[in-house]
Amino acid sequence: MEDLQFLFFVAMLVVSFLYASVGHGGASGYLALMAIFLFPPQEMKINALVMNIAVSGLSFLSFYQQERFQRRIFIKLALLSIPMAMLGGYMQLSSDWFKIALGIVLVLPILKFLGLIPGWKIVERTPGDWMLYAAGASIGLFSGLLGIGGGIILTPLVILLGWSDVKQAAMLSALFIFVNSASGLIGASFGNLEFSDSLIWMVPAVVLGGFAGATMGSQISYTDILKKIIAVVLVFAVYKLWFT
C-alpha cells in the first residue's frame, strides 16, 4: 500500500510539472490519476479544484513575467465563466454520468498530445465580444461541473482561432483556470464538500511539480515525448473510467 501511495504522489508531481509547463492547472491529469487509483468520485472533483488553484496560480505568475497579458480577452472570457463555473460547482452529477462526461473531456487532450487533431493555417484575428462571452460561459459551466479549470478546452480554442500565440495562450489559460477553479470550489461549498485525507500531501506534490514546470514552460517549450507520456496516462484513465 505504501509503495502505491508513493507511486501516486510521484505521478501527481510529474503530471503537475507537465501541465504547468503549458500554463494548465492539471485537473484533467489529477482526475485521471485519481480514477486510476480508485478515488471516490465525490472526492475527485473537490481535490482537483484545490490542486488546480495552486498550480494554475504558479503558472500564471511565471508566464506573466515573460509575456504580454491579453487583458481584454481575459476579462470578457471571465465575465460569464466565473458565475457559470460557480453554478457548475454547485451542480452534482451522478457517479456514472460523472465518469462518462469526464472520460469524454479527457479524449480532447489525448488527441491533442498524440498529434491526432489535424492542424490548419492559423490566421491572427481579434475575437468579437459575443464569441468571448459564449466561450467563457460554456467552458465555465463545464469546468465547474467536472472539477476542471477549462484550460484543455480554452488553450486549443484560442490558438486555433488565432486569438493569441502559444505562450500568450498558456498565460491566458492559467489565469482562466485559476478563477474558474476558485469559483467552482465556492459553488461546491454550498453543497457537501468531501476532501480526501491525502489532500494535505497531494497539494505540496503538485505545487513542487507545478513550480518547476511553470518555470521551464515560460522559457522553453516542452518536448513531444512528454506529450506522448501524458497521453498514455490519460488513455489508461479513460479505460478505468469507462470499462472497470
Residue 31 has pLDDT above 60, yes or no: yes
Quick one: pLDDT at residue 60? Answer: 87
Residue 77 pLDDT class (50, 70, 90 cuts)? very high
User: Tens digits of per-residue pLDDT, 124-155?
Assistant: 567 788 889 999 998 888 888 878 788 777 87
Percent of the chain with pLDDT over 70: 83
Is the separation of the CB atoms in 27 and 148 below 8 Å?
A: yes
Residue 178 pLDDT class (50, 70, 90 cuts)? very high
Helix (H) or strand (E) holding 195: none
Task: Give the separation between CA 71 and CA 76, rounded to whole angstroms.
Answer: 9
Handedness of CA 71, 174, 60, 163 (dihedral sign): negative
Quote the longest CA-to-CA distance of the chain: 53
Quick one: pLDDT at residue 229? Answer: 61
User: Which residue's C-alpha cell is 489525448?
Assistant: 110
Task: Give the separation between CA 180 and CA 169, rounded to whole angstroms.
Answer: 16
Cell of 25: 492547472
Quick one: pLDDT at residue 53? Answer: 92
User: Which residue's C-alpha cell is 465525490?
Assistant: 42
Residue 1 has pLDDT above 60, yes or no: no
Residue 2 pLDDT class (50, 70, 90 cuts)? low
Helices (H), 37-150: 41-64, 71-90, 95-113, 129-146
Provide mean pLDDT across the span 13-34: 84
Provide mean pLDDT across the span 223-239: 65
Quick one: pLDDT at residue 234? Answer: 67
Side chain identity, residue 54 = A
Residue 233 pLDDT class (50, 70, 90 cuts)? low
8-state DSSP, 30: H
Handedness of CA 50, 52, 53, 58 (dihedral sign): positive
Quick one: pLDDT at residue 88? Answer: 85
- Collapsing DSSP states into helix, strand and coil, what is residue 215? helix
Average pLDDT, the chain: 80
Indicate the range of 95-99, 101-105, 209-213, 229-233 predicted with least confidence: 229-233
Quick one: pLDDT at residue 133? Answer: 93
Task: Give the separation between CA 47 and CA 41, rounded to whole angstroms.
Answer: 10
The angle at the Cα of 86, spanning 204 to 108, to the nearest 5 degrees, equals 70
User: Tens digits of per-residue pLDDT, 182-230?
Assistant: 998 888 888 777 777 888 888 999 999 988 888 877 666 544 565 666 6
Residue 62 has pLDDT above 60, yes or no: yes
Helix (H) or strand (E) holding 91: none
